[in-house]
Amino acid sequence: MLYFRNDYGAGAHPAVLEALCGSNAELTPGYGTDRYCRRAAETVRSLCRCPEAAVHFLVGGTQTNKTALAAFLRPYEAVVSAASGHICVHEAGAVEQDGHAILRLPAPDGKLTPDLLRAAMAGPVNEHTVVPRLAYISNTTELGTVYSGAELRSLREACSELGLLLYCDGARLGSAMAAGDTDFSDYAAACDAFTIGGTKNGLLFGEALVIVNPALQPGFRNCMKQQGAMLAKGRLLGVQFEAVLRDGLYLSLASHANALAKRLAESLEKSGIPLLVQAESNQVFPILPDRAVEALRQDVEFEVERKMDGARTCIRFVTAWHTAEADVDALLELLENLEK
Amino acid sequence: MLYFRNDYGAGAHPAVLEALCGSNAELTPGYGTDRYCRRAAETVRSLCRCPEAAVHFLVGGTQTNKTALAAFLRPYEAVVSAASGHICVHEAGAVEQDGHAILRLPAPDGKLTPDLLRAAMAGPVNEHTVVPRLAYISNTTELGTVYSGAELRSLREACSELGLLLYCDGARLGSAMAAGDTDFSDYAAACDAFTIGGTKNGLLFGEALVIVNPALQPGFRNCMKQQGAMLAKGRLLGVQFEAVLRDGLYLSLASHANALAKRLAESLEKSGIPLLVQAESNQVFPILPDRAVEALRQDVEFEVERKMDGARTCIRFVTAWHTAEADVDALLELLENLEK
Amino acid sequence: MLYFRNDYGAGAHPAVLEALCGSNAELTPGYGTDRYCRRAAETVRSLCRCPEAAVHFLVGGTQTNKTALAAFLRPYEAVVSAASGHICVHEAGAVEQDGHAILRLPAPDGKLTPDLLRAAMAGPVNEHTVVPRLAYISNTTELGTVYSGAELRSLREACSELGLLLYCDGARLGSAMAAGDTDFSDYAAACDAFTIGGTKNGLLFGEALVIVNPALQPGFRNCMKQQGAMLAKGRLLGVQFEAVLRDGLYLSLASHANALAKRLAESLEKSGIPLLVQAESNQVFPILPDRAVEALRQDVEFEVERKMDGARTCIRFVTAWHTAEADVDALLELLENLEK
Amino acid sequence: MLYFRNDYGAGAHPAVLEALCGSNAELTPGYGTDRYCRRAAETVRSLCRCPEAAVHFLVGGTQTNKTALAAFLRPYEAVVSAASGHICVHEAGAVEQDGHAILRLPAPDGKLTPDLLRAAMAGPVNEHTVVPRLAYISNTTELGTVYSGAELRSLREACSELGLLLYCDGARLGSAMAAGDTDFSDYAAACDAFTIGGTKNGLLFGEALVIVNPALQPGFRNCMKQQGAMLAKGRLLGVQFEAVLRDGLYLSLASHANALAKRLAESLEKSGIPLLVQAESNQVFPILPDRAVEALRQDVEFEVERKMDGARTCIRFVTAWHTAEADVDALLELLENLEK
């Protein structure tokens, strides 16, 4: 069975596992107050060229988004997001559970733009409406599209103009950086806060939250604890992030995944299989006849994105740090035969 | 200054005020456990032909919607509403504050339909998504459109088929019943719960919540108290509702308002002034040149619905139980002169 | 039947009712943006000698406490209160519903003291605990006891020292001012925010919230709306508060109630009937043999405070602005006969 | 430095780590839908002799308590707990954040009793109060005391009589079972839901929640996801629990820790050092002169429980699965020398 279902199907990259095993017997203070977390946070600040950032390590993505937004917003403040944003469709109402509305904007490629933001803020905002206060983006997006550095900067400008905080969910930040022209410091420059995703890029689990805006920093650990988001053996997060961030592994894992996705996408396009959106990172969304989709299930694990019409379905292939070149070859061969 | 801003600009209808004054010196138990509330609830049940309904009296509309939805839903359950629904745009995120997402459906005339509901439920619902559980409608809608009895019944069917509760916000229920072919019993038959609005139809304040579905009844008074929605001198609500419901005043006040709106709308249309939607109840939405709107502000109080384009604006005229025939005449004369 | 059950059994004082009737036909803007509310707020600021205070008018006490605390606190911040505080025992968990823990301190007379506060804050406060941030007091307390001006000032000092906000629930503020040595300005000087209760002192309903601390003022109306706590016909609150605050009626009504309670308490003590706490305001808590309590139920409405032991019960008599001298006489006679 | 600070200072037991490493390369479905979780859940059901139980695997203790209570309770329902309960003092208000009050009962040894429950429920419960609905206990308690099987059964009876759910936080369930006369099936028989703690007994992280009461089972995974409590690579939890539960390792690790604590406690008592409570499991609470406590800090990591008076402090020693016999010897020698 070929595995293109997602980028969190395997455990950790061997280097991460080794770091965990190597430190396993150590006795450290709990809750992220250990030296591994301190060092990993220092590394993050250094990569971001942002010595004043607060860096926190949490276990999962929904947890991180939820805790951050609950900590950053007053009760009546709302979030603005592309309708396809992870917080809109795959987090079971986690943001709303903490009391905040999400305004969902139509964005066919999954990306917010200054124009979309301005349109969303053009209507009346008063004490009878929710007050949009934070723009949520993810890079890469749910559709695998990628914000460039220029796009980030223009969003930053629009947010400042509109009185919005800018928050970037970086569950796949490695993939975004490997695919585009941004590095860690671009996010620190553009965002009030952003995350560096580990779960989907070689860690067993873990998201680093970087809070750049000093006004959003106080009390965050209290919020983490209250949300059940503070890992007792917090060093497990520091150890893992240190392992991937210290020497560039984080980016090289993402580059590997992106490269395979690129090869896959190019071959698909050559075969005349249309893609829902251009494949820019490690996700590819081919549109196939329903029969082909059914046939493919025999040999490949993947997810269905959506029905296109009565006869065609858009599915999703995800490549990961552990995907082998040979798997892509095998998948392409299967697809070629399906077509015939 | 002519007043067409809304239907809650004045105090209470004289009959309501008289009932309040007449009972003022009485000493009764608090929190709605008095005989006025008991009698008013009995009247509601009788009008609804639903002897098993639980009837509660609350002060305001947002409060009632918020308390009801918080009481009816489990944490991860969501609400489905027309995007123009009151809970979406005029309640400052009250429903979300209690933890529930609202899925906003596009409905140009403000009305949900079975097809819209089915489309909203067609996507995957699982543990990663919110779970739509309650369809929120209002009758009349925010745009003054009216659900017919047949439409209510078809929504009921769709909700039953889809596993949704049906909740009707009746802030302007009198107007809906006066304009259409429904009476109280149609709401009891179609809805799991609905409200009978007093604030906009002759009371100082007050909304009656009718919980038809027995599964939704337990614990509601606890929720009311917890939400700060239980009036200490609860009898004020019973006294007022009794005054308007006992002898048909509730409907005749609404009919008066509807009739004036109808006259207004027909004259506007005769003058060639386009309306945003057909005027079915006590709200009229003419689209006027921006200059005309500005000129009108000198003599008339009204609200702006939205900018249509660079040159025209849709405004809203609301008639109420206290609007005088002469006011409509005066408004029409003003509009005629504006046109010239 | 004699009525000593509570101070919200009747409607409004005639002067309040007259003001409501007199303004009934006027058409005003909604939601408290009318001139009555503006004038009433100005009067409150003037009485408080606090021109910078934000003044909001809400309908009920639980609603006001809940909305204020939700607006003032960050998610992990907690409230400190006497265990007998209204928010602890009579608000159905309204404060907790908005996410805040209440630390309940034992205070036999219902009053917080600097020592109690210091003791409560002596334990470790860190990211694993809730962070006490607001001291809740009520004046008068649930037991009818009264904070003096000196006590308020010493609480203020303790709160400043401990990093706590001081909030005073003034549901019976009139009674407290009439019984003690404080006036409105003492609360503005000592508290970050406090309320002026109308429901229990001559209004149909209504609590004025005075937010003295400028840091707590922004966004409050958004919170009100979100909590369903913004009355559509908001002027009803302005009209009523103006009627009682303009010319001292608020205090004279409370003085009347206090004077009757004092007479009642003194007679009880002369008859050798013990009181749970000294009667300082308009509540009296006699301890009676269970038989006497049962007999009394035939002729008097009152509430039970608590069972003292197997044979005696503490009950509560409340006097109000509408209680007649003759009612107290009648009650005393009944009690005298019971004893025999 | 000797480590007696807590039982989560090290990583995982070698057998757990080995299982993680051995399964690392496998590709499995996410979110706990894999075969490891299925098998671990089956093992739990079998150990509990409760084939109908729903078993969920979560990452941390606060997260598990919070998610469970939020899922089980209606908005106005409250929790009853010993004042020293973990949810009262070490979870930063996590339960209240989801809207539920906790009634804190005084229990010097950390244990609820039927009498305490009955007393807590003796007061009036109505729509103005919170409604106690769930009794929270932990075994072992925060003070290391242990509920026996008979005590569990009598709590079950009291809860059934009082209309309360019984929830047992088993963050140290292994220690409780090793110290007392209970096994997994006793918890399934007595509780509506309980947890099996992994974090403090040999896992990197992980708590298993066993929901016995069928009425509490529906929708739980939705609540997990909404709370950010569903691990993407959920199998990590299944793999770890399987490793300790399959062949009795869970109990033998706890027995080891208990045995060392027992030796430590007996030696302390022989030396005349008083203990705060009898040492029943893996926590020992000696009361030492402040000077001794200070001196000890040079060589030992431990936590302070509380100041006893001006001269003495109660501290806490915790033994764990990884504590060596030699460490206890060394600690005892240090303590002996301090005394001289």
How large is the greatest C-alpha to C-alpha distance in chain C, in angstroms?
Answer: 61
- Cβ–Cβ pairs < 8 A, chains A and D: 146
Distance from CA of B89 to the nearest CA of A (A): 6
Task: Answer yes or no: do D226 and B128 touch at CB < 8 A.
Answer: no
Touching D: which chains, 3+ CB pairs < 8 A?
A, B, C
**D219 has pLDDT over 60:** yes
Nearest-neighbour CA in chain A from B98: distance (Å):
6
CB contact under 8 A, A92 and D233: no
pLDDT at C312: 97
Q: What is the helix (H) or strand (E) element at residue B18, kind and residue range?
A: helix B14-22
Closest Cβ opposite residue A92 in set B97, B104, B129 = B129
Q: What is the pLDDT, as a whole number, of residue D226?
A: 98
Most B CBs within 10 Å: which of D222, D225, D227, D231, as the mutation test of the B interface? D222
- CB within 8 Å: D100 and C93: yes
Using beta carbons and an 8 Å cutoff, which residues of A are at the interface with C?
Answer: 31, 70-71, 74-76, 98-99, 127-128, 131, 219, 221-226, 230
**Amino acid code (one letter) for A165:** L
Q: Which residue of D has its CA nearest to C306?
A: D123
Residue pair D32/D171 in contact by the 8 Å Cβ criterion: no
Q: Measuring CA to CA, which residue among A153, A110, A140 is closest to residue A200?
A: A140
Burial degree of A9 (CB within 10 A; 0-12, 13-18, 19+): buried
The tokens for D198 are 């992994």
Among the partner-chain residues D127, D222, D230, the one whose CB lies closest to the CB of B131 is: D222
Contact C146, C179 (CB under 8 A): yes
Give the C-alpha separation, D219 to B127, whole Å: 8
Q: Are strands D300-301 and A165-169 parallel, antiparallel or unpaired?
A: unpaired
Amino acid (one-letter) located at B329:
D
D248: left (phi over 0), alpha (psi -120 to 50) or beta: left
Q: Are C6 and B28 in contact (CB under 8 A)?
A: no
Residue A221 with chain C: CB contacts under 8 Å: 127
Chain D residues touching A27 at Cβ < 8 A: 3, 5, 9-10, 301
pLDDT averages per 10-residue partition of chain B, 340 residues: 96 98 97 98 98 98 98 98 97 98 96 97 92 98 98 98 98 98 98 98 98 98 98 98 96 98 96 95 97 96 94 97 97 85
Nearest to D225 among B70, B127, B230 (CB): B127
Q: Distance between CA atoms of D320 and D301, rounded to whole angstroms?
A: 13
Question: What's the CA gap between A312 and A289, in Å, rounded?
Answer: 4
Averaged pLDDT of chain D: 97
The string of pLDDT tens digits covering residues A242-289 is: 999 999 999 999 999 999 999 999 999 999 999 999 999 999 999 999
CA distance B115 to chain C (A): 31
Q: With an 8 Å Cβ cutoff, are C236 and B205 in contact?
A: yes
Minimal C-alpha gap between B329 and chain C (Å): 19
Per-chain mean pLDDT for chain A: 97
Q: Which of B92, B100, B128 sits opposite A90 (nearest CB)?
A: B128
Residue D339 has pLDDT above 80, yes or no: no
Instruction: Say how far apart CA B229 and CA C94 lie, in whole Å.
Output: 10
ipTM of the complex: 0.97
Beta pairing class for B300-301 and B2-3: parallel
Which residue in chain A has the smallest CA separation from D224? Answer: A92
State what percent of residues in chain D have pLDDT above 70: 99
**Which CA distances in Å does A30 have to A26, A335, D11, D200, D315?**
12, 50, 11, 12, 18
pLDDT in tens, A284-335: 999 999 999 999 999 999 999 999 998 999 999 999 999 999 999 999 999 9
Structure tokens at D244: 């300790």
Residues of A in contact with B128 (CB under 8 A): 89-92
User: Is pLDDT at A340 greater than 70 in this prediction?
Assistant: no
pLDDT digits (tens, 9 = 90+) for C191-207: 999 999 999 999 999 99
- Contact list in C for residue D78 (CB cut-off 8 A) is 93, 96
- Quickly state the pLDDT bin for D114 (edges 50, 70, 90): very high
**DSSP line for B55-102:** EEEES-HHHHHHHHHHHHS-TTEEEEEETT-HHHHSSTTHHHHTT--E
Rounded distance, CA B247 to CA B188, Å?
Answer: 20
Chain C: nearest CA to B85, how far in angstroms? Answer: 15
Q: Which chain C positions have a beta carbon within 8 Å of A224's beta carbon?
A: 127
Q: Least CB-CB distance to C90: which of D96, D100, D128?
A: D128
Q: How confident is the model at residue C338 (pLDDT cuts 50, 70, 90)?
A: confident
Residue of D nearest to B129 (CA): D222
**For C314-331, what is the mean pLDDT?**
97
Q: How far does D222 lie from chain A, in Å, by closest CA?
A: 7
pLDDT of C340 reads 56
In whole angstroms, how far apart are CA D260 and each of A146, A173, A190? 56, 47, 54
Which pLDDT belongs to residue D123? 85
Q: N- to C-terminal Cα distance for chain D?
A: 21
Q: Which CATH class is domain C14-247?
A: alpha beta
Report CB contact under 8 Å: B9, C30.
yes
Q: Which residues of A touch C226 (CB under 8 A)?
A: 75-76
Which one of D93, D127, D130 has the shortest CB-CB distance to C78? D93
Residue B239 corresponds to which tokens in the numbers above? Answer: 């006294």
Q: What pLDDT, on the 0 to 100 scale, is given for residue C123? A: 85
Could you tell me how many CB contacts below 8 A there are between chain B and chain C? 145
Task: Please state, in angstroms and rounded to a whole number, the distance separating the CA atoms of residues D304 and D293.
Answer: 9
Q: Given pLDDT bands bounded at 50, 70 and 90, which one contains residue A21?
A: very high
Given an 8 Å threshold on Cβ–Cβ distance, is A128 in contact with C225? Answer: yes
Show residues of chain D in contact with B215, CB under 8 Å.
Answer: none
CB–CB of C204 and B11 under 8 A?
no
Looking at residue D38, its pLDDT comes to: 98
Interior angle at CA B13, CA B8 and CA B16, nearest 5: 115
Q: How far from the centroid of its chain's Cα atoms is residue D80's Cα?
A: 17
Of C217, C201, C218, residue with least CA distance to C45: C217
Contact flag D99-C100 (C-beta cutoff 8 Å): no
At position D139, the amino acid (one-letter code) is: N
- Residue to test with chain D: of B67, B133, B216, B222, most D Cβ within 10 A: B222
At the topology level, CATH places domain B2-6+249-339 in: Aspartate Aminotransferase, domain 1 (3.90.1150)
Q: pLDDT band at residue D338, thresholds of 50, 70 and 90?
A: confident
Share of chain A above pLDDT 70, in %: 99
Nearest to B62 by CA among C29, C62, C31: C31
Residue type, D162: L
Q: pLDDT tens digits, residue range C260-312?
A: 999 999 999 999 999 999 999 999 999 999 999 999 999 999 999 999 998 99
The answer to whether C216 touches C62, Cβ cutoff 8 Å, is no
Pick among B205, B220, B327 to test the C interface (most C CBs inside 10 A):
B205
Chain D contact set for B37 (CB, 8 A) = none
Average pLDDT, integer, range D42-55: 98
- Which residues have C-beta within 8 Å of that of residue A237, sequence separation ≥ 6? A32, A37, A40, A57, A58, A59, A198, A205, A206, A208, A231
Closest CA to B71 of B209, B224, B229, B228: B224
* Cα–Cα distance, A18 to A22 (Å, whole number): 6
The domains of chain D are located at 2-6+249-339, 14-247
pLDDT band at A102 (very low <50, low <70, confident <90, very high): very high
Mutate to test the interface with B, among C13, C100, C226, C239 (most CBs of B within 10 A): C226
- Distance, C-alpha D253 to centroid of its chain: 15
Pairing of strands A207-211, D193-197: unpaired
Tens of pLDDT, residue by residue over C85-99, are 999 999 999 999 999
pLDDT in tens, D294-324: 999 999 999 999 999 989 999 999 999 999 9
